[in-house]
Structure 1
């Protein structure tokens, strides 16, 4: 059996698609992805290779702020193209980077040494290759909702590290907009004003947002920039 199995007919994932319920070997044993998530949100982030500099800084940052993801009921899981044994050894380096050598990495890492998931989920970076000429995994981020559908997908090249503070900000927006009929404007942070979605009438907006709705006047005369404070 291969270490990971996923429906070979699965097309490229799009926003709103159900995330595949793959099985994989990880640092906490073999998992079935939907069972691992349970009723929680999830974030899956991939790494090009174990024992590499940028990946180590990313995992260390993810570990340092893992309590922030837990606070938001988001289960974290990483993926790299090496073995479970390598992942365990690498995890020690990651925690030592955080000056927490005695603590365990607070989330599992998927072993994708056969690159099965990397291929199926479109994670490979054609421009970055290992010493054997095999493509490395790009830095993918998938956020999955409690309904097991993909809510966010970001793809970075192997050479560019991610910003995990931005990932928390995005999750705050996703969770807020899943519950309220609002959207979050550019550079939004929790606690700031949000925008009323265009499909709501003035009467519906007034009923839903008792704190009031303000409309920014524009040269077009169209009243589409409507703000409210939640």
Structure 2
């Protein structure tokens, strides 16, 4: 599936570090940046998530929410947040989706990349901006 400008993002329900969310309800009347990362506890991903945490105030001023996703489980995300704070000085206050079974990823544009690695633990990196209208 490929999303284009003005397409409606697929709705989904997902487990996150902040509890269960229904994506469209979570966005509300604003915007969202959904970004993925390939693996928790890696140096580059740690700095990327810390950078997003540092920019969260700028996003909020523009009515934009941040949400991350990876194939790592929510429990791993929760443990990793302390490392992100230590490494970058920024606290991750946005939700991180644990998508171990690819329930969400299969509904998003990352699918062609994901299906290529049929027998390998799936890792992907992508950012997509979604709006309410």
Q: TM-score range by the shorter chain?
A: 0.7 to 0.9
Q: Which whole-Å CA distance do the structure 1 matches of 2:132 and 2:122 have between them? A: 32
1:108 equivalent in structure 2: 95
- Alignment equivalent of 1:44, drawn from 18, 23, 34: 34
1:82 Cα shift?
Answer: 0.8
1:17 equivalent in structure 2: 7
Q: Which runs of 5+ in 2 are unaligned?
A: none
1:169-188 matched pairs, under 5 angstroms:
none
- Alignment equivalent of 2:50, drawn from 49, 60, 64: 60
Structure 2 contact 35–128 (Cα < 8 Å) conserved: yes
1:13-162 matched pairs, under 5 angstroms:
13-100=3-90, 104-123=91-110, 125=113, 133-137=120-124, 139-147=125-133
1:119 Cα shift?
Answer: 2.5
Matched residue SS, 2:129: strand
1:14 Cα shift?
Answer: 2.0
Q: Which whole-Å CA distance do the structure 2 matches of 1:113 and 1:36 have between them? A: 21
User: When the two structures are superposed, what TM-score results if normalisation uses the length of structure 2?
Assistant: 0.88
1:63 Cα shift?
Answer: 0.6
Structure 1 contact 50–81 (Cα < 8 Å) conserved: no
Matched residue SS, 2:35: strand
Matched pairs, number: 130
After TM superposition, the structure 1 stretch with the greater mean CA deviation from structure 2, 55-64 or 117-126, is: 117-126
Structure 1 contact 12–120 (Cα < 8 Å) conserved: no
Relative CO higher for 1 or 2, CA cutoff 8 Å, sep ≥ 6? 2
Q: Which whole-Å CA distance do the structure 2 matches of 1:62 and 1:118 have between them? A: 20
1:51 Cα shift?
Answer: 1.1
- Identify, as 1 or 2, the structure richer in helix: 2
Matched residue SS, 2:15: strand
Matched residue SS, 1:85: helix
Per-residue deviation, residues 169-216 of structure 1 (Å, max 9, x unmatched): xxxxxxxxxxxxxxxxxxxxxxxxxxxxxxxxxxxxxxxxxxxxxxxx
Q: Which whole-Å CA distance do the structure 2 matches of 1:135 and 1:105 have between them? A: 23
